[in-house]
Structure formats: C-alpha cells, structure tokens
C-alpha cells in the first residue's frame, strides 16, 4: 500500500482508493491497463479526477444477489449488534478533489458534493 496523499492511496498496482464519507468505507477504482473495468485518472494525488463515475453496490443491491442474506436480514436477526454496515448504492463523480454524490445513493450524502477527506487514522 502506498500513501499517495492524505486522500488517495494505491492499495495495489493500479488500484486507487479514496475514503467515502457517505459509506464510511474506502472506494477503489483501477486505472491503467489490465483486466476488468478501468478508470481514467488525471494523475493528481491531491485533487484527483476519475472518469467515468464510480458506482459501488453492496448487499442486496448487488445485481444477482440472492434474497434473504444481506446486512438487512443479518441485523433483523441480530438486533443488538452495532450497525456498522449497511446494504447500499454509492454513485459518485470524483472531480478535482471533490466527490459529487448522485441522487441514487442510498446514504445521507445523496445529491451533495463534498471535498475528499483523509483516511481515518486506523485505516
């Protein structure tokens, strides 16, 4: 793992991670050449721009997910567990060091644009 800047890390060759304050988790895109979808990156580590948009789905929002086993059902069965995870959609444009959350996000930052933030200390 290489810390490229406060807001950007290279978690493996070609894999760039940034902290998503909406998901409270890291989002990762891949750039350069190689298998799988690849994003454009402007090469700026402080104020990155990625193209096209970044779409992350978790839990029952993942296409092909089998109903009946996701965070929703887990917390239904374990109501006393702290809710650190949630099923969701996170759809963002990262432009010039800002994260624009599209309206299809399931978290509270949907429709907002926020500056990229540093990774938490313990990440």
* Beta carbon of residue 53, minimum distance to Zn ion (angstroms, whole number): 12
Distance between CA 63 and CA 27 in Å, rounded? 18
* Beta carbon of residue 108, minimum distance to Zn ion (angstroms, whole number): 11
Only one of the segments 2-10, 42-50, 62-70, 75-83 lies at the binding site for Zn ion (rule: CB under 5 A); that segment is 62-70
Residues 74 to 113 in contact with Zn ion, rule: CB under 5 A:
87, 90
**Spatial CB neighbours of 44, under 8 Å, sequence gap ≥ 6:** 96, 97
Distance between CA 18 and CA 25 in Å, rounded? 9
For 13, the 3-state DSSP assignment is coil
Binding site for Zn ion (CB under 5 A): 20, 22-23, 59-60, 70, 72, 87, 90
């Amino acid at each position: 793992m290489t810390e490229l800047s406060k807001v950007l890390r290279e978690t493996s060759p070609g894999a760039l991670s940034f902290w998503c304050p909406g998901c409270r988790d890291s989002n990762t895109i891949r750039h350069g050449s190689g298998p799988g979808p690849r994003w454009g990156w402007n090469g700026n580590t402080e104020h990155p721009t990625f193209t096209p948009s970044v779409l992350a789905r978790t839990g029952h929002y993942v296409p092909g997910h089998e109903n009946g086993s996701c965070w929703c059902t887990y917390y239904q069965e374990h109501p006393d567990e702290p809710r650190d995870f949630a099923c969701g959609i996170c759809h963002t444009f990262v432009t010039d060091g800002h994260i624009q959350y599209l309206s299809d996000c399931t978290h509270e930052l949907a429709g907002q644009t926020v500056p990229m933030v540093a990774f938490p200390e313990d990440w």
